[in-house]
Amino acid sequence: MSDPLHLTILYEEGGDGWIVSSVPEVPGVLSQGRTKEEAREMALDALAGILELRAAEHEPQGKAVGSESLNIVAA
Protein backbone atom coordinates (compact mmCIF):
# COMPACT_ATOMS: atom_id res chain seq x y z
CA MET A 1 0.00 0.00 0.00
CA SER A 2 1.34 3.43 -0.93
CA ASP A 3 1.54 6.40 1.37
CA PRO A 4 -0.73 9.31 0.40
CA LEU A 5 0.79 12.38 -1.17
CA HIS A 6 -0.07 15.49 0.83
CA LEU A 7 -0.15 18.83 -0.95
CA THR A 8 -1.39 22.18 0.29
CA ILE A 9 -3.60 24.63 -1.56
CA LEU A 10 -2.82 28.10 -0.24
CA TYR A 11 -5.52 30.77 -0.60
CA GLU A 12 -4.67 34.47 -0.55
CA GLU A 13 -6.64 37.64 -1.15
CA GLY A 14 -6.15 38.99 -4.63
CA GLY A 15 -7.20 42.29 -6.10
CA ASP A 16 -10.77 43.16 -7.02
CA GLY A 17 -12.34 40.33 -5.00
CA TRP A 18 -10.34 37.48 -6.53
CA ILE A 19 -8.95 34.64 -4.41
CA VAL A 20 -5.48 33.53 -5.50
CA SER A 21 -4.68 29.84 -5.06
CA SER A 22 -1.32 28.09 -5.25
CA VAL A 23 0.31 24.78 -4.36
CA PRO A 24 3.59 25.70 -2.65
CA GLU A 25 5.01 22.17 -2.98
CA VAL A 26 4.78 22.37 -6.80
CA PRO A 27 6.37 25.53 -8.22
CA GLY A 28 4.36 27.01 -11.07
CA VAL A 29 0.93 26.00 -9.79
CA LEU A 30 -0.87 29.32 -9.42
CA SER A 31 -4.44 30.26 -10.24
CA GLN A 32 -7.41 32.27 -9.00
CA GLY A 33 -11.16 32.28 -8.69
CA ARG A 34 -14.06 34.44 -7.53
CA THR A 35 -14.87 31.97 -4.73
CA LYS A 36 -12.71 29.63 -2.66
CA GLU A 37 -14.35 26.66 -4.39
CA GLU A 38 -13.59 28.09 -7.83
CA ALA A 39 -10.02 28.93 -6.78
CA ARG A 40 -9.59 25.32 -5.54
CA GLU A 41 -10.92 23.87 -8.79
CA MET A 42 -8.63 26.12 -10.82
CA ALA A 43 -5.60 25.21 -8.66
CA LEU A 44 -6.28 21.50 -9.18
CA ASP A 45 -6.59 22.09 -12.92
CA ALA A 46 -3.30 24.02 -12.90
CA LEU A 47 -1.66 21.20 -10.91
CA ALA A 48 -2.79 18.59 -13.44
CA GLY A 49 -1.58 20.78 -16.32
CA ILE A 50 1.88 21.42 -14.87
CA LEU A 51 2.38 17.73 -14.05
CA GLU A 52 1.37 16.73 -17.59
CA LEU A 53 3.73 19.34 -19.04
CA ARG A 54 6.65 18.24 -16.88
CA ALA A 55 6.02 14.57 -17.64
CA ALA A 56 6.06 15.31 -21.39
CA GLU A 57 9.38 17.18 -21.03
CA HIS A 58 11.05 14.40 -19.02
CA GLU A 59 13.55 12.24 -20.84
CA PRO A 60 14.78 9.10 -19.07
CA GLN A 61 18.41 9.37 -17.97
CA GLY A 62 19.17 5.65 -17.95
CA LYS A 63 17.76 2.25 -18.79
CA ALA A 64 14.26 1.80 -17.35
CA VAL A 65 13.91 -0.95 -14.77
CA GLY A 66 10.13 -0.68 -14.43
CA SER A 67 7.29 1.75 -14.04
CA GLU A 68 4.32 2.34 -11.78
CA SER A 69 1.08 4.28 -12.24
CA LEU A 70 0.31 6.99 -9.71
CA ASN A 71 -3.15 8.36 -8.98
CA ILE A 72 -3.43 11.45 -6.78
CA VAL A 73 -6.84 11.99 -5.28
CA ALA A 74 -7.76 15.42 -3.93
CA ALA A 75 -10.23 15.28 -1.09
The answer to whether 35 and 20 have CB atoms below 8 angstroms apart is no
Alpha-carbon Rg for the chain in angstroms: 15
For the chain, what are the domain ranges?
10-51
Quick: pLDDT tens for 14-63.
999 999 999 999 999 999 999 999 999 999 999 999 988 988 887 777 88
The answer to whether 32 and 16 have CB atoms below 8 angstroms apart is no
According to DSSP, the β-strands at 10-13 and 30-33 are unpaired
Residue 48 identity:
A
| Type and span of the H or E element at 49 | helix 36-57
**Mean pLDDT, to the nearest integer, of 56-73?**
76
**Mean pLDDT, to the nearest integer, of 7-18?**
95
pTM above 0.95, yes or no: no
Q: Is the dihedral of CA 12, 18, 23, 27 positive or negative?
A: negative
The pLDDT of residue 41 is 96
